[in-house]
Structure 1
């Protein structure tokens, strides 16, 4: 690692950046004196080295800048213009690296892409970097599977941007590949899909950005579906992103959008879509309080819409399969929501092992 990053571990700026990130994690993203001290030292360190005559960027310096941007959208999220300017600045420095023939590893370039994407997803900053700028992200690696739009989405996607239907079709193909993998092997080694995930997630964030550009025509249900589809894509294989805060952001946005649309007449005609959104947000969160919130929404707020479609697990699962669904990545997690709704019935299902294959390998 020290060889790759050319002395990064003894670079003061990167040291302060790592200290900032670790302190931020320790205090659950809540700023305090210690965190602000590390931030000040990082800013001062970057300012000092960049003012030196003849300064040339190093990978370690760029990595420190990316960590600063990560801090900004977690803690200083209101200042979108500043974050956008810093991402543009890092991109300019990356271009300088290439012009000066300074080694910049591919991982740093990918990291900049993800900082830009996550900043747009979480805060609504404008996109600066497209997946089309990266050769490995341009094309999906989905072969020998039929890509079809799930039946449930046929009822609603005609109202939305046509690219959303195309993204869902691609994601459905990816889910099929995941479910075909050997359950006795580690999936990420058998079929690496991180580049395909990046392609789909980037296209979804582009759709979200476009939707936000017309605040007078906000469609909360459409945005909830974008966040839910992003969450399902992420969940197929978490890899190094295990424990990332982004899934919980998606969960919160799904619940928020669904709640905003509580009186939308569309739910009357597509209760299955509502069930899928709530089950995805409740099943793919790691927070028990959020799952409790989802059960309240199903049993109380949306009681009339949910009547008769979730009481039996097999009926419920059949409805969920009409949307984005992966047996391997989603079934056992979403069953937790149904179990909270029907604790008296779930034990018998588990005893008879009627939940399908127990996928024990790490995704």
Structure 2
């Protein structure tokens, strides 16, 4: 059986003990009385607000029970309110607009509270936790949930995996008891499906649920579970090949990107390179050979890079030229897919070069990390999550600190200066950004020009799309100039 190897190591609900569950049916049916040492405490506005909220909740539960007794199933909600909210959201922020009614009706535990689901998906930070598997934005044609998974909310494993990802992110990436419940439920339903008769939608939904689990696990730094889940995905793909089951290309893109992200973040073994799926194939346009150039700032590093990495840099420069001269239409699927393939090819090859780079060669490792940051940020209209750029920026800072006394850097101070600005521009505000500024001031390899325009001219000798990088670059330069 194709799944035997995986099922021998597959997680069970016993791996994630729930402990004592306070949210039982009995517990939900009772009020809880809490005493205060100071009687004035109960008069506080925050306490009064909690009391009123609790009372309203219990009143609503009472009405639900009455309706359930009559109808046998409680699914009552006001569609006009969600339509109005969706229309209002579209007017303010079209990119993150969501149509709650397209979710469909289901008795799944995961979306029994559709209002909460709407709130979580509307939360930018929480919704980014679904990247790069899917999105719920109505403003983009790329990786839309319903294009990939159809009626996926009727699938218990996928719907619980979505709620796990959203709740985990909304909880500032702390694993709560509720997250444990969603995770256990997801795994239980995946295990129940293994070995059963699977049609194409069911396989896609199972893979989607596993990939969302992978996204949670790499954020937790759990390398063994990430690799185990990805091995399961590999076996599911083998099963699809044996049964001639065709998967949506969005599933394959999700597999590729989740595998690559996990490899960068926690160093898990890569299983899916950019050339494993024909749908992600990308090649140079032979009629536009003039755009594949090595920027002059990198010329002194040509021998350090080697011919293969030089070609990657040329491809990044071509991507920069395209992004500088074109306006991306998020409703244009072919253009988005071409951009995605272009990035996939570049980023996958950069990872391979980073893996083979000699650790003592800090200039090569630093440049690869900076090149990856540039490539990632050249097209982020669809995926705007901060995890990858902030991680790459932190790694680059460590490499630059370790390598600043290297003889190679002494001969290539301009390249190190470019790497530092790239890392600082896309670093998270706070300690990492401050450390980049401190590195610039304390280093002996040169300083930035005193005027921003002159700084931009210097950066453009390497890779620096003015139209896209202006805002973060200028903000970093301003912060540097003030210190």
Unaligned runs of 5+ in 2: 1-144
Separation (CA, whole Å) in 2 of partners of 1:115 and 1:40: 21
In the other structure, the counterpart of 1:8 is 152
Separation (CA, whole Å) in 1 of partners of 2:348 and 2:407: 30
In the other structure, the counterpart of 2:237 is 94
Separation (CA, whole Å) in 2 of partners of 1:314 and 1:96: 56
State how 1:253-292 maps to structure 2 within 5 Å: 253-292=395-434
State how 1:288-303 maps to structure 2 within 5 Å: 288-300=430-442, 302=443
- 1:157/1:88 Cα in 2 relative to 1: closer, same or farther (>3 Å)? farther
Separation (CA, whole Å) in 1 of partners of 2:221 and 2:426: 26
In the other structure, the counterpart of 1:105 is 248
Equivalent pair of 1:120/1:209 in contact (CA under 8 Å):
no
Q: Could you tell me how far 1:111 is from its partner in structure 2?
A: 0.7
In the other structure, the counterpart of 1:203 is 349
Higher Cα radius of gyration = 2
Q: Could you tell me how far 1:74 is from its partner in structure 2?
A: 1.1
Q: Could you tell me how far 1:229 is from its partner in structure 2?
A: 0.8
Relative to structure 2, which stretch is displaced further, 66-75 or 148-157? 148-157
In the other structure, the counterpart of 2:93 is none
Structure possessing the higher relative contact order (Cα contacts under 8 Å, 6 or more residues apart): 1
- 1:293/1:173 Cα in 2 relative to 1: closer, same or farther (>3 Å)? same
In the other structure, the counterpart of 1:156 is 301
Match of 1:326 among 440, 452, 465: 465
Secondary structure of the residue that 1:305 maps to in structure 2?
coil
Unaligned runs of 5+ in 1: 345-363
Separation (CA, whole Å) in 1 of partners of 2:345 and 2:422: 21
State how 1:1-363 maps to structure 2 within 5 Å: 5-50=149-194, 53-54=196-197, 57-77=202-222, 79=223, 81-140=224-283, 142=285, 144=288, 145-181=290-326, 185-186=327-328, 192=336, 193-211=339-357, 217-300=359-442, 302=443, 304-307=444-447, 309-343=448-482
Relative to structure 2, which stretch is displaced further, 260-269 or 320-329? 260-269
- 1:237/1:2 Cα in 2 relative to 1: closer, same or farther (>3 Å)? closer
Q: Could you tell me how far 1:343 is from its partner in structure 2?
A: 4.4
Separation (CA, whole Å) in 2 of partners of 1:269 and 1:316: 20
Paired residues, number: 331
TM-score, normalized by length of structure 1?
0.82
Secondary structure of the residue that 1:243 maps to in structure 2?
coil
Secondary structure of the residue that 1:17 maps to in structure 2?
helix
Separation (CA, whole Å) in 2 of partners of 1:250 and 1:188: 26
Equivalent pair of 1:59/1:103 in contact (CA under 8 Å):
no
- 1:162/1:123 Cα in 2 relative to 1: closer, same or farther (>3 Å)? farther
- 1:2/1:262 Cα in 2 relative to 1: closer, same or farther (>3 Å)? closer
- 1:43/1:93 Cα in 2 relative to 1: closer, same or farther (>3 Å)? same
Q: Could you tell me how far 1:188 is from its partner in structure 2?
A: 5.2
TM-score, normalized by length of structure 2?
0.63
- 1:220/1:3 Cα in 2 relative to 1: closer, same or farther (>3 Å)? closer
